[in-house]
Amino acid sequence: MTAHIEAASPHVMNTYGRLPIAMSHGKGCRVWDVNGKAYLDGLGGIAVNTLGHAHPKLVKALQEQIGQMIHCSNYYHVPGQEKLAAKLVELTGMANVFFCSTGLEANEAALKLARKFGHDKGITRPEVVVFEGAFHGRSIATLSATANPKIHAGFGPLVEGFVRVPRNNIEALRKATEGNKNITAVFFEAIQGEGGIHPMTVDFMRELRVLCDDRDWLLMIDEVQCGIGRTGKWFAHQWAGIQPDVMPLAKGLGSGVPVGAVVTSAKAANIFQPGNHGTTFGGNPLAMRAGIETLRIMEEDGLLAHAAKVGTHLQTALVTQLMNVKGVKEVRGQGLMLGIELDRPCGVLLQRCADAGLLLSVTADSVIRLVPPLILSAAEADEIVAILVPQIKQFLSEAQA
Ligand SMILES: *Cc1c(COP(=O)(O)O)cnc(C)c1O
């Protein structure tokens, strides 16, 4: 019997424009809905399901962990925290880690670090440089750091202390901050996700590193979406050969289990002292096991090189097939974080592609976003192209918006 799914749920708050589809289970890069229809997963739970669905090694480790301990409290040492923190330090060359559960929490901690860094040196009204197109989360502080006016609407007064500048323009940044002694940090996504898959250039990231050193500012890189191997390096800023002072992580770190982290360099490692910050769920044994196993399996299975290779394959195929299609503005991104910008809003593609058996998202109104599991095979990438390209062509051939 086919279950009919209403667009809105009677008891769940209506905070998302949900499709009338209810998911049941998944395996690898496939998911099935409650009616048994299969979908290829080009979305990965929004860059979360690093290892796809029901990865046998992860399932086994998590089952074992659940039987042992899910949660205790940060009143005690959690051995998994030391293990995952040591691994993150090894992968970044940074100094230490604070654990939380989500992206906005990691960013909230970063913003608190930027403020206390200021207060510790006598700046009582610290300000942080943020960017046009930025998305940092939905808490009051992180939505204030976010650029999108739709995300601000209805939630003022916004948190003060942000200076917003355009992407990839060091001169504009210099000018906007000239003589401002209150700046304590620059905060950006190495590749903007929700803003429409906009990369910061390697040159710009290097210039920011130099500027932050010159001015004694913290370089804070939000790797919540673009980090954890997605671009073919552990963290997207590593393509620029730089190191941040503060790096928030979440999404892909636990391969579906909520795990957030803030990795800090020596410059930021001791800003928080006991009592300055905390969170009940942060660093619990289940979350730590998910993070440890995700990173371990990624290494064992060579998923960084794989993501780079399959990502290039996918991007090349999309560029080749969409290059001369009128209405396609650009195909961009790196590794398995890709955006296809159209010349008009294309939200309807969400439902149409789902009907055709492909999950993806549309962000910044007119950018089709692909952030699949990093285990995506070349054959599955070809399948994405085979479903998506005709949908885009069909959509663009309809009446101009
Ligand atoms: C998703 C995202 C966040 C917010 O993460 P949540 O876990 O949804 O709070 C923050 N920054 C970036 C770059 C993101 O993509």
Helix and strand counts by DSSP (H, E) for the chain: 12, 17
Best residue among 194, 253, 367 to mutate for probing ligand 1, ranked by most atoms within 8 Å of CB:
194
The β-bridge partners of 46 are none
Binding site, annotated residues for pyridoxal 5'-phosphate: 135, 222-225, 280
H or E element: which one contains 337? strand 337-342
Domain(s) of CATH 3.40.640.10: residues in the chain: 69-300
Question: What homologous superfamily does CATH list for 23-54+303-400?
Answer: Aspartate Aminotransferase, domain 1 (3.90.1150.10)
Ligand 1 atom nearest 250 alpha carbon: 7
Residues of the chain with CATH 3.90.1150.10: 23-54+303-400
- The CA 226 to ligand 1 mean position distance, Å, reads 10
**HEC string of 126-185?**
CEEEEECCCCCCCCHHHHHHCCCHHHHCCCCCCCCCEEEECCCCHHHHHHHHCCCCCEEE
How is residue 13 annotated by DSSP?
-
| Beta partners for residue 342, in sequence order | 328
Tens place of pLDDT per residue across the chain (401 aa): 577 787 778 899 999 989 999 999 999 999 999 999 999 999 999 999 999 999 999 999 999 999 999 999 999 999 999 999 999 999 999 999 999 999 999 999 999 999 999 999 999 999 999 999 999 999 999 999 999 999 999 999 999 999 999 999 999 999 999 999 999 999 999 999 999 999 999 999 999 999 999 999 999 999 999 999 999 999 999 999 999 999 999 999 999 999 999 999 999 999 999 999 999 999 999 999 999 999 999 999 999 999 999 999 999 999 999 999 999 999 999 999 999 999 999 999 999 999 999 999 999 999 999 999 999 999 999 999 999 999 999 999 996 65
Ligand 1, residues 139, 146, 251, 361: which to mutate, most atoms within 8 A of Cβ?
251
By CB atoms closer than 10 A (0-12, 13-18, 19+), residue 226 is buried
Q: Does residue 250's CB lie within 6 angstroms of at least one atom of ligand 1?
A: yes
69-300 maps to which CATH number?
3.40.640.10
Q: Please identify which residue in the block is written with the tokens 């109104």.
A: 365
The reply to whether the predicted model has a pTM over 0.75 is yes
Residues contacting 71, CB < 8 A, separation 6+: 281, 284, 285, 286
Q: Which residues pair with 369 in a beta bridge?
A: 339, 361
Q: What is the rounded CA–CA span in Å between residue 47 and residue 250?
A: 10
d(CA 93, CA 88): 8
136 in ligand 1 pocket by Cβ < 6 Å? Answer: yes
Looking at ligand 1, which atom is closest to the CA of residue 139? 9
Detail the residues annotated as belonging to a binding site: 135, 138, 222-225, 279-280
Between CA 240 and CA 115 the distance in angstroms is 26
Atom 15 of ligand 1: nearest residue by CA position: 225
Instruction: Render 52-105 in DSSP notation, one character per residue.
Output: -BS-HHHHHHHHHHHHH-S---TTS--HHHHHHHHHHHHHH---EEEEESSHHH
